Structure 1
Amino acid sequence: MGRRDYEDDPDAPAANSLVPAASAVVVDEAGRILLQRRRDNGMWALPGGAMNLGESLPDCVIRETREETGYEVAIVGIVGTYSNPRHVFAYDDGEVRQEFSVCFLARPVSGQVAVSAESTDVRWFSPDQVDELPMVPSIRKRVNDWREGNMPALR
């Protein structure tokens, strides 16, 4: 299924759904960040996705990271909460989803790089390599918030 992101775009379609979601900035011991290249839009992104019924947001991001990258992670903080009503995702099936996402900070505890049905590539990048990657503005904001340390600690 294809997806198009609209942010602060007057031509964006109106949202018709709101789905809680979570993403993760996964950082290894070398300070590298784990990113996946999305199959639906070709952009580099953080692992993450929609929360299922009966699941907490932390459980959601742990599951999504495992499914999309091959890594089990431990949550060590929160990067931020992102709920811009002027940011929507339009899907080929007609759903137009308003953004509502919590981005967690995580570290890998086991696993190895694995591409999923949702991605075409999964890689570790040094923070300075991220600036050159094609990425939607909302994901770049999360990465920049992490790099700039604009996040509360989770204890």
Structure 2
Amino acid sequence: MTIGARAVIRDDGGRVLLIRRNDNGRWALPAGTMELGQTLRDCAIREVYEETGLSATAVTPFALYSGEQLHTNVFGATYQHVSLAVRVDSWTGDLLRETDETLDAAFYPPGEFPEDLSGAVRPTLADLARFESGDPFTLA
């Protein structure tokens, strides 16, 4: 079992920030695994900073994913990942296009995402849209 967080960051024009992961080359939301003694909120904030250079100053949780979050690592071990999704409500700083964990980062309009997109991006954004329209927190 692993536990972590993913973050949705939008600019004033509604574009979504995606990072190109250096481990698999796919475009994804900023995300990662919680460190020992860390809260999920702090995990989301740390991952945003590590992968984008941006400092999230306020976040709102809107979904928790667990069930079918099965993955196999490079060593062939299967694990289940539990991930909290948060909306970044405010942030400061300048976007870094490349970090130790990312090959690129950019804001994209939702209808113009890159082809090599992580499978979690669209469902996460759909859950955020439902949450923002008044539906309850997603627990999946």
Shorter-chain TM-score above 0.5: yes
TM normalised by structure 1 equals 0.76
* TM-score (normalised: structure 2): 0.83
Corresponding residue for residue 7 of structure 2: 24
Q: Percent identity?
A: 33
Query: Gapped runs of 5+ residues in structure 1?
Result: 1-17
CA distance in 2, matches of 1:28, 1:77: 16
- Written as runs of structure 1 = structure 2, the 5 A alignment for 1:127-146 is 127-130=110-113, 132-146=114-128
Letter in 2 for 1:74: T
SS at match of 1:64: helix
Asked if the contact 1:127–1:147 (Cα under 8 Å) also holds between the matched residues in 2, the reply is: no
1:37 aligns with 2:20: yes
Distance 1:88 1:71, change over 3 A: same
Structure 2 residue aligned with 1:80: 63
Instruction: Report the equivalent of 1:112.
Output: 94
Report the alpha carbon displacement of residue 108 of structure 1 after superposing the two structures with TM.
4.2
Q: 1:100: how far off? A: 0.5
Asked whether the 8 Å contact 2:41–2:59 carries over to 1, the reply is no
Distance 1:123 1:116 in 2: 13
Cα offset for 1:89?
2.0
Change (3 A) 1:43 1:147: farther
CA 1:109–1:138: 2 relative to 1, 3 Å: closer
